[in-house]
Each structure stands twice: as structure tokens, then as C-alpha cells.
Amino acid sequence: MASLQDPLGPVVGAKAAKRLAAALDVRTVGELLRHYPRRYENRGELTDLASLRDGENVTVQAEIASVSVRRMRNRPGTVLEAVVTDGRGRLTLTFFGRGRQDWREKVLRPGVRGLFAGQVSTFQGKRQLSHPEYELLGSGEAVARAAEYAAELIPVYPATSDITSWQIADSVRMALDLLDVDDDPLPRVIRDRHGLSGLADALRGIHRPADRRDAERARQRLKWDEAFTLQVILAQRRRAAIAFSATPRKRRPDGLVAEFDGRLPFELTVGQQLAGATIADELALDHPMHRLLQGEVGSGKTVIAVRAMLQVVDGGGQAALLAPTEVLAQQHYRSISALLGPLAQAGQLGGAEQATRLTLLTGSLGAAARRKALLDAASGGAGIVIGTHALLEENVQFADLGLVVIDEQHRFGVEQRDALREKAGDGRPHVLVMTATPIPRTVAMTVFGDLEVSTLTELPAGRQAISTHVVPAAERPRYLERTWERITEEVAKGRQAYVVCPRIGGDEPAGDGPAGNGSAADGAAGDGSAAWAAAAGPAGLGRTDEDLADQGAARRPPLAVLDLAALLDRGPLAGVRLAVLHGRLPPDEKDRVMLAFAGGSVDVLVTTTVVEVGVDVPNATTMVIMDADRFGVSQLHQLRGRVGRGSHEGLCLLVTEAEAGGPARLRLDAVAATLDGFKLSRLDLEQRREGDVLGAAQAGRKSSLKLLTLLADEDLIGAARRAATELVDADPALAGQRGLAAAIGALLAEQRAEFLEKA
Ligand code: ADP
Ligand code: MG
């Protein structure tokens, strides 16, 4: 008998175990049995040997007449040929082996009867089955078994050049024969309630299904394992978080929030009111809030965050707002100062009576300013502290940190969230995470499963439309020329534009491209785009046939900010005031450029994705994205959110050389066709592997989601989440669930191992 944790050696033999480890990184019975078939093939109808036809999948019942084994001529290994007959015809079975001998010689002996299944082919004039599946029959076994066998499905495994599907199938069969599961990780009540099979049955069912229904039933059960384990971990995390205490910050009818609301120049949208009320209620509780606030760029998240921060100040505490970049921290500082007006001018002339103070703390502050900011935070003089990662440093202290607001969560890890939490004295601060990347519900339930979610679905009235078009630069060079003309026209009307490139250029070191994981693209790789751009000439950036021929099949490096800016300055945008912005600029230079652009003394900003999140220049109406196919769908959507923020309509042009009708172009067409971020994030998710979406923090490499798809299995994930919450509420330590506790322990250990690998 073998359990799931047992090493493979004793179960499948040392040689096979070694091969499985080398080819698939599979080392235990459990890992092997979780290497699921990709699909199934039908064995094929029971056929007599006289009526075989090439190409058909057949099952034959026959007796082995003779067997021969010979060495292969050109490479190491053996060929075993067994000739079988059913009295009406003959057929050769061919097996290729790697070693000097073939173990099948011991079982495939003349006189033995069996069922053989495979695809018929002809080799040197002889009908054959290459690597057939087979089952040998004892002397008395009935014909009934033959019909049953013919109807069974053959599993087809993800294989590599080092291991074939049938080699995997052989090992799986041995493991299944010995398998003994005594602690099912899925509790009996849950299995009963949802009509799910036991684990051992499910593993047999997915590897050796009797029919398709059997396979589907097994899949369903195994999907449950994936969803449930993850949800139990998250339920435990939520429970642990709630166990902490927090200082309640109740609403005050005469406080800063009330004054702020009275001063707001607009009405809150219904969504803002609802989310705001939920947050206000949670801040008043004596355990920490953990809430994710998601909503499109411009949906008004910042206003909600400000009201939450003021409620905490009203309650005697402080709030910290953590932004992912210096530019964004400064922008928040400016826009929140403006929103608060006299409410943030404590001690100043014109400050409101119960005013608080706003402090900015970033890495680029000079020593004196930094000292003052640190003092403001530590003394409690600043009710609201806005900053970058600098806020996480050890010497930053707060008098009474009651709320942490994190903008654009996807740039921060769980560890950073924790680092800031630790800064609250006793108990924990409330946490509000804001993201503009719309997250489908199931992803929110898994990736951000330890957070509750509020969503803003509408944009405030008066927001401008953004129209988006694809510019096929290779097919229509003229369209690209027109693109630059459009920018010149906008500038002539006193408006501004962004031109976004995937790369910085110059002598930048190698790094990740933007399409990789949708995170910061600054500092991407390679070179040669300078040469490319120059060759393309200043009039158009369309690629010539010579360029194509020169570079063969290799994809040219993505366009770079520095190269393109120089080119535009000399060519199509001569006379327009250009500036470049990218992550390699020193922070104060970045600020200078951003301020110049915001102030209108720069017309066109040639930039990397540093402008992706939250940058707000209402006078910018046009965005041109070069090599748009190199960006992810959600990222493009984020980027174009930079325009159409003022009183003029926004225009976004996606420049690409991707072929019409190809997958890259279809993605761009989808972005051009809708402004619905949720639709696009679903599309993004469909196109990326779930593991990439989940990231290292949630899913181990081997035991991560193999069967579960976040989009299609929404109902199942929801049910698993409810079941997990119920179970963890009843039995937080999983004392009565040995199998489950073991499965979770294994998953967490693996995550830790991967974390260390990466660190
Ligand atoms: P987000 O952070 O979600 O991208 P912001 O909070 O920055 O959006 O809001 C974008 C702009 O819309 C800001 O200028 C803000 O003052 C304004 N705004 C927010 N809520 C409303 C509303 N209900 N009505 C009109 N304008 C609003
Ligand atoms: Mg924002």
C-alpha cells in the first residue's frame, strides 16, 4: 500500500521514479497522481484482425503468436515486436524501449491472450499498432470484458521529450494499484452535501475513467480540493485578522467628515455613498477593517479614502496613505490638500477650527524636511501622512496610527501591508486597499481572499468619453503619419498628449518587458531599437521589407522612449515642446518633468508606463501607445485612463505592427471596442495562466490550480468559500480534519520553499 506522501521509487521502480523526477519534477505518489491527463482518447471499437484499416483506433482481442526483441541500429535501445493473431488475421505490436532489455518481454509471451488497443498503421508492408495499450486476459475471462475494455478511455498526459504519455500512464497505473488514502482532505459532510466522490475514487476516476461521465465526476471532486484548500487558508487568515483588536473610530456628526462633505463641490455617486457607509461602519468596530475598494480610474476612490481618513482623525487617530511611486505620492498630496483646503491647515492663518495637518514623506525629501515630516508623524501633529515606501522604514513612527490606506495594491506585497500595520501601537490599524485594476469576483475571492470587497461601478457624471483606435503601422504607414499630425493639431488647440513606449532605451540594463506580468515596465531590455527607428526614417515609423529581411524571424526590440523622443523631435513633432519621463530619471528630475507637464509648459510627454497609475493632468487629451501589443490588456486600459479627465474628450491610439486577425491584434481590437474594465480584465485573465494571476503569494507551483479555472468555476469557488468559512468557524485549528490539515501544511510549506527560492 502507498500513501500520497510516499516517494515514488518503491512504487514505480527506481528507474521510472528517476525519469519522472527529471522530466516532470514529480517525486511522490501524490505529485504523480496530480499530474492529470490532458484529455482522453477512445480505445476504439473491438475489431477483428481481418478488417483493420490504417488510421483507425481499434481494440483487438488476440493471442500472442511470437515475440522478438532486437537492438536498434542507430541509437541505443530496443524494439520489441509481438505478432498477435485472432485466427483471421495477423498484426504486429511494436514497443520501443530505452534500456538493453524490455521488461515487457516477461509478460508478453507466446500463447498469452489479451486486448490490444491503438491506432493502426502500416510499416514495411505489415499492419501494426505502435505502443498499444493492452490488458492481458486470464484463461477463463469472458468476452464481456473485451467490450468493456474497448469502451474505456485512454488518458493522454502532458508529456515532454524525456517522457512519453504511455510511460506516465504505466507509472500512474502502478501507483493507483497501491494507493491507499486514509485521510480524505475534503470533510465527509462537504462531500455528502455536494455529491462528491472520495479522493481515492476521484484519482482513479480521472486517470482511468470508465467513461466520460466518470472522468467529469472525478474532475469536479478534484477541483473542489483546489478551491477548498485555498479558501480554508484564506478563512483562517481572515479569522486571525479579526482576532486582533483595533481602536474603534466612530463617526462624529460635527467632525471633519461632516465639514468635508459640506464643502464638496459635487454630489457623491450612489456607489461612493454605499462604499463610504460600509467603511464608516467598519471603522467604528473594535477589530480591524480589511477592505479592498476597487473602481475604474476616475471613479472617485480618493474621495472615499479621504473621508475614511478624516473619520479616523475625528476619532483621535492618524491615517497613512501609501502610494506606489513618488509621482503618485506627490500628486495625492497636492490633490488631497486641495480637496481639504482649510480643513488641512491646522495652525495656519485661514485654517478651520478643528483642522488637521497633511504631511508628505518620500525618499527624496531633504534632511530637514524629512526630520520635520518624521516629527509630524510621531507627535501626531499630522493627522494624515502621505508617502511612498519610505513610510515603511523603521524609524517612521506614529502617535496613533488608526488607518492605513494603500493605493494600487498590486504594486505592494502582503509583507509591506504587514510592515505598515506593525506601526500601530496596541492592536492593529484598519486597512483600506484601493485598486483601479478591476478584478473579477472570483479572483478577488482567491487573490485578495482575506479582504472584503467594495466596488464602484459608475463614473461620476460629466466624465469625458475616450475613443480608442488601433493604428496598424506596418499595413498603413499613412495612419502613423496621421497620428503625429493629430498630436500637432491637439497641441495647436492648447492641449497635451502622452506618447508611451515599452522601453526606456539608451544603455539600460536587461530587465522584464511590460507584457510579462502587467507590473512596472520601467527598465525593460535589449537594444537595437535606436538603429531600427533611425532606419525607419523620421517621416513614418513603419517597418520596411528590408528591415524585416534583415532581422529574420526575430522580433525587434520594443520601441524606446529615448530613441523615439529624439526621432519625433527631429521629425514629425519638430517645434512641439517634448519631454521624456521614465523610471531611470532621478526622483527630483521626474518631479520636475511631471510638474512641467501638469503646468502646461511641456506639450507632449514621451514616457514609459510610469504614468500608468493615477497621474492626473486634465488638459492631456491624447495618448499614443507605441508597440501596444507588448502591453497587457488591463495595462492598456489603465494607461488610457490618463486622458479624457478634463473637459475635452479623450483619444487613445494603439500603434502596432501585429498582424491583422492575429491574437495580438484581436486583443487590441477588444481594448478599442470597450471601456468596460471588468470585461477587459476577464479577457486578460483568460489569456494568462492562472498561476501568473495568482502570483507566488497564493499558489504553489506544483499544487496550485490545475483543474480550477477562476472564470469558469465561479459557482464552485463561491460554494467552497462558504463551506471553508463554515468549517473554520466551527473548528479553527482543523483539529478534526487530519487530511485537510496535512494538505494545507504541504501547500504552505511549498509556498515557503518557493519564496525562499526566489529570495
Ligand atoms: P480614482 O482615485 O478612483 O481614480 P479620484 O478619486 O481621483 O478617482 O476622482 C477623479 C476625479 O473625479 C477627481 O477630480 C475627483 O475630485 C472627482 N470626483 C470624485 N467623485 C466625484 C463625484 N461624485 N462627482 C463629480 N466628481 C467627482
Ligand atoms: Mg486614484
pLDDT, residue 512, reads: 36
- Rounded CA Rg of the chain: 32
Q: Whose CA is nearest to atom 26 of ligand 1?
A: 460
Measured from the Cα of 304, ligand 1's closest atom is 6
Query: Which residues, 6 or more positions from 82, have their beta carbon under 8 angstroms from its beta carbon?
Result: 64, 66, 67, 92, 93, 95, 108
Nearest CA to ligand 1 atom 11: 298
**The predicted structure's pLDDT at residue 120:** 92
Distance 460 CA to ligand 1 centre (A): 7
Nearest ligand to the CA of 338 is 1
Q: Which ligand approaches the C-alpha of residue 303 most closely?
A: 1
| Cα 329 to ligand 2 centroid, rounded to whole Å | 11
Q: Which ligand is nearest to the CA of 641?
A: 1
For residue 299, the CA-to-ligand 1 centroid distance in Å is 6
The tens digit of pLDDT for each residue in 237-263 reads 888 877 888 999 999 999 999 999 999
Per-residue model confidence (pLDDT) at position 748: 78
pLDDT score, position 514: 40
Q: What is the DSSP letter of 90?
A: E
Listed residue (659, 656, 684) closest to 670, CA to CA: 684
- What b/e string do you get for 35-60 counting C-beta neighbours within 10 Å, with b at 16 or more? bbbeebbebbebbebeebeeeebbbb
Q: In this predicted structure, what is the pLDDT of residue 602?
A: 96
The three cell numbers locating residue 448 = 485578495
Q: Name residues of the chain where pLDDT drops below 50.
A: 510-553, 689-703, 757-759
Residue 96 pairs with which residues in a beta bridge? 79
Rounded (5°) CA angle 746-750-755: 150
- Please tell me the predicted confidence (pLDDT) of residue 420: 67
In 540-599, alpha helices (H): 545-551, 561-570, 587-599
Residue minimizing CA distance to atom 5 of ligand 1: 300
Query: In whole angstroms, what is the distance from residue 581 CA to residue 603 CA?
Result: 13
Please tell me the predicted confidence (pLDDT) of residue 743. 85
What is the residue-wise DSSP string for 313-358?
Answer: HHTT-EEEEE-SSHHHHHHHHHHHHHHHGGGGBTTSTT--TT--BE
Can you state the angle between helices 587-599 and 326-340, rounded to 10 degrees? 50
Distance (Å, whole) CA 579 – CA 597: 8
For residue 352, the model assigns a pLDDT of 79
Q: Which of 143, 497, 96, 434 is nearest to 290 (CA)?
A: 434
b/e per residue 374-386 (b: at least 16 CB within 10 A): bebbeebbbbbbb
Task: Determine which residue's CA is closest to atom 25 belonging to ligand 1.
Answer: 460
pLDDT of residue 67: 94
Mutation pick for ligand 1 pocket among 260, 267, 273, 302 (CB with most ligand atoms within 8 Å): 302
Asked if 109 contacts 67 with a C-beta cutoff of 8 angstroms, the reply is yes
* 297 ligand 1 Cβ < 6 A: yes
CB 571 less than 6 A from any atom of ligand 1:
no
pLDDT for res 143: 63
Ligand nearest to the CA of residue 270, numbered in listed order: 1
